[in-house]
Amino acid sequence: MTAVAEERKGVQPHVSSRALAEMMFRFRELGIVLALVLVVGATTIDNHLFLSATNVQQVLSAASIIALLAIGETIVIITRNVDLSIGSVLGISAYATGALYVHHPHVPLALVFLLALGIGVGCGIVNGLIVTVARVPSLVVTLGTLYIIRGIDGAWAGGNQVNASMLPDSFNKIGYGTIAGVPYLGIIAIVAVAIATYAMRTFRTARDFYAIGSDPDAARVAGIPVGWRVFLAFVLSGAIAGVAGAVWLSYYGSVDAIAGDGYEFQVIAAVVVGGVAIFGGSGSVLGAALGALLLNTINSALVVVNVSSFWSQALAGGLLVGAIAFDRLIAVRVAPALRTRRRVRV
């Protein structure tokens, strides 16, 4: 291993600009953490209540749901696809969970989550099949299922609403409970992100996702079952959105036909701000989760310093564009180095 370490020293000086770009790619997470510290610091100086336990818990819980969804979305985007249906899947799963409790108040918790998971997997299978078998671009497919699932949800729920009072306390507690001040939701998200981050680095299937997004044709030549992997990515994304639906209900306590409306864009924004390349191939679940935390923190910070919530949307948009421009800038700066044949290193 020492030989390798020495080698790296020898390699760096020739490629400093590219090495820097590579660092930027790899340590995007660090940049987000830095931005997070800046936002929190500046807001706290303006209003020290920003760091109060209640506020922090609230930000963390809200970010957790987006972060959960971001795990699945990251996997899909890494394969050079996109899943726009997650908000609708979350919505119908949340309503199904509520309806289940209304009709069977004593149903065990495990069964509730199993139902949510099942609904998500079902939606994921539909998305995945249309994308891989019928070879329709995922943008179109999931835009379609976004409306279809939302339509079914609306027809089913009608004007009904399920309230927290109709839900058992054991379920509601998932939403508001804390351990040592940390909300359950935060813990769920942290554990899920940790597992996903590890898995995305460690399993062949996960590395296949990266390979497919990096160069689909090369992936096919390398013998990777591209269709199956893409299908799996959609099933995973659906499954996570399904479970997130039950989690969402436990946090917000009431559900109607528009639960989770527009979440897909919040999630995609978080994923892209978190450094996942929109055309696939690179990025991490951790980055996406941090992106979710950053966007939610900014939202909350703007409220605390009394800026209209309209601005918070504009700011999220600005960050999104900024993140993409940043990626593009790196790509453009790396391109001439790519074209130049290096004769130095032999």
Beta-carbon contacts of residue 196 (< 8 Å; ≥ 6 apart): 71, 74, 75, 285
Q: How far apart are CA 113 and CA 245, in angstroms?
A: 9
Residue at token pair 């359950």? 184
Q: Which of 42, 111, 140, 222 touches other proteins (CB under 8 A)?
A: 222
Scanning residues 85 to 104, which ones bind other proteins (CB under 8 A)?
Answer: none
Stretch touching other proteins by CB under 8 A, among 29-37, 117-125, 198-206, 227-235: 198-206
Indicate whether 326 belongs to the interface with other proteins (CB under 8 A).
no
Indicate whether 345 belongs to the interface with other proteins (CB under 8 A).
yes
Q: How far apart are CA 58 and CA 259, in angstroms?
A: 18
Residue 280 DSSP code: S
| Residues in binding contact with other proteins, number by CB under 8 A | 45
**Consecutive H or E run containing 212:** helix 204-214
Stretch touching other proteins by CB under 8 A, among 28-36, 136-144, 254-262, 335-343: 335-343
Residue at token pair 């992997």? 229
Closer CB to other proteins, 38 or 195, in the complex: 195
Closer CB to other proteins, 224 or 240, in the complex: 224
Stretch touching other proteins by CB under 8 A, among 67-75, 127-135, 154-162, 203-211: 203-211
Contact 259, 98 (CB under 8 A): no
Stretch touching other proteins by CB under 8 A, among 38-46, 169-177, 182-190, 275-283: 275-283
Indicate whether 202 belongs to the interface with other proteins (CB under 8 A).
yes
What sign results for the dihedral spanned by CA atoms 298, 301, 305, 309?
A: positive
Indicate whether 106 belongs to the interface with other proteins (CB under 8 A).
no
Stretch touching other proteins by CB under 8 A, among 162-170, 175-183, 202-210, 289-297: 202-210
Could you give the count of Cα atoms lying within 13 Å of 250 in the half-sphere of its Cβ? 26
Question: Which tokens go with 204?
Answer: 């062949």
Beta-carbon contacts of residue 244 (< 8 Å; ≥ 6 apart): 65, 68, 69, 86, 90, 93, 120
Contact 235, 76 (CB under 8 A): no
Indicate whether 194 belongs to the interface with other proteins (CB under 8 A).
no
Interaction site with other proteins (CB under 8 A): 1, 3-4, 7-8, 10-11, 15, 18, 21-22, 25, 201-204, 207-208, 210-211, 213-215, 217-224, 277, 281-282, 334, 336-343, 345-346
